[in-house]
Amino acid sequence: MSGKKKAQPAATRCGFVAVIGAPNVGKSTLVNRLVGAKVSIVSPKVQTTRSRVLGIAIRDNAQILFIDTPGIFAPRRRLDRAMVAAAWQGAGDADLVLLLIDASRRQPDEETARIIEDLKRADRKILLALNKVDLVKQRERLLALAAEMDRTGCFSDIFMISAETGDGVDDLMRVLVSRLPSGPWLYPEDQITDMPMRLLAAEVTREHLFRQLHQEVPYALTVETESWEDFEDGSVKIQQMILVEREGQKAIVIGKAGARVKAVREAAQAELQEMLERRVHLFLAVKVREGWSEERERYKDLGLDWEA
């Protein structure tokens, strides 16, 4: 889990950079790339990230504390409300705010328009990155989008990047570093996130559930690590519970003759093994817990505000 150890230089910078935007624009992909390791789960579906995730990067004399946030959208359920509140709170607490837009979308998305309206009211200059430029064939379309965004008057800088390929990301990083306040590093040099391993392990399983399940099912479930046992031979036994809301969803998660949960278990176990650099024995159980998304306890673990 730990990166290479770097000695802290004499004159240091340190600060929080919140990455905000509509769902699915590539916020988590970007944070992982900037950190150089996976700290936040990614999927092709909207609303993958559910809570604030801290990703820590070091560049020259600076320690940059990236806050990956849930996508901002019109919330309906309690969980949605808490996710959106966490995103705005992430922005409020940060030294710098970076708004990400999916430049490959043909239609201007309503969510981004609403976010920009809210930013205007907040009267705060923020940085903008047009992401997924690898998917945009016509340069003119990008330039037109950049000009349109510039006219809003909300942005101090506009970048064109691909979080996926890394295109333009170095430039962005350089500017972020130059805008950070001076100050001592807040985390040890080799730390890349503040997320407890049990929670990160649950997120890895949730990512594979998101990738392998469709329609409402990914949104109706949550994953919790119930036990974590280290063995002398270096291996670890991790037991997790997948909570769903209804019997029908449980049947879908389990799949025919247990095929779905088996595939998820294998994928998550392989990924955990790589992250932890040790043998992992992952055990998954699926349980119906009607109304888990209304339970206060579930929110505390995720650092979400139940009353948001």
Ligand X SMILES: Nc1nc2c(ncn2[C@@H]2O[C@H](COP(=O)(O)OP(=O)(O)OP(=O)(O)O)[C@@H](O)[C@H]2O)c(=O)[nH]1
**Residue 49 found at the interface with Mg ion (CB under 5 A):** yes
Q: Which is nearer to ligand X, 134 or 171 (CB)?
A: 134
Q: Which does 240 bind (CB under 5 to 8 A by kind): Mg ion, ligand X, none?
A: none
CA distance linking residue 26 with residue 49, whole number of Å: 11
Between 52 and 260, whose beta carbon lies closer to ligand X? Answer: 52
Q: Which residues bind ligand X (CB under 6 A)?
A: 21, 23-29, 42-44, 46-49, 70-71, 131-132, 134-135, 162-164
Least gap, CB of 183 to ligand X (angstroms): 28
Name the 3-class secondary structure at 1: coil
Task: State the Cα–Cα distance between residues 187 and 63, nearest whole angstrom.
Answer: 8
- Which residues, including other chains, have CB under 8 Å from residue 169's CB and lie 6 or more apart? 30, 33, 34, 161, 162, 163
User: Strands 222-230, 236-244: parallel, antiparallel or unpaired by DSSP?
Assistant: antiparallel
249 binds, among ligand X, Mg ion, none (CB under 5 to 8 A by kind): none
In this complex, which beta carbon is closest to ligand X, that of residue 24 or of residue 112? 24
Taking alpha carbons only, the member of 56, 33, 37 closest to residue 167 is 33
Residue 260 binds which of ligand X, Mg ion, none (CB < 5-8 A, kind-dependent): none
Separation between Cα atoms, residue 253 and residue 259, nearest integer Å: 9
Among residues 25 and 79, whose Cβ is nearest to ligand X?
Answer: 25
User: Of 13, 28, 86, 211, which one interacts with Mg ion (CB under 5 A)?
Assistant: 28
Chain contacts with Mg ion (rule: CB under 5 A): 27-28, 48-49
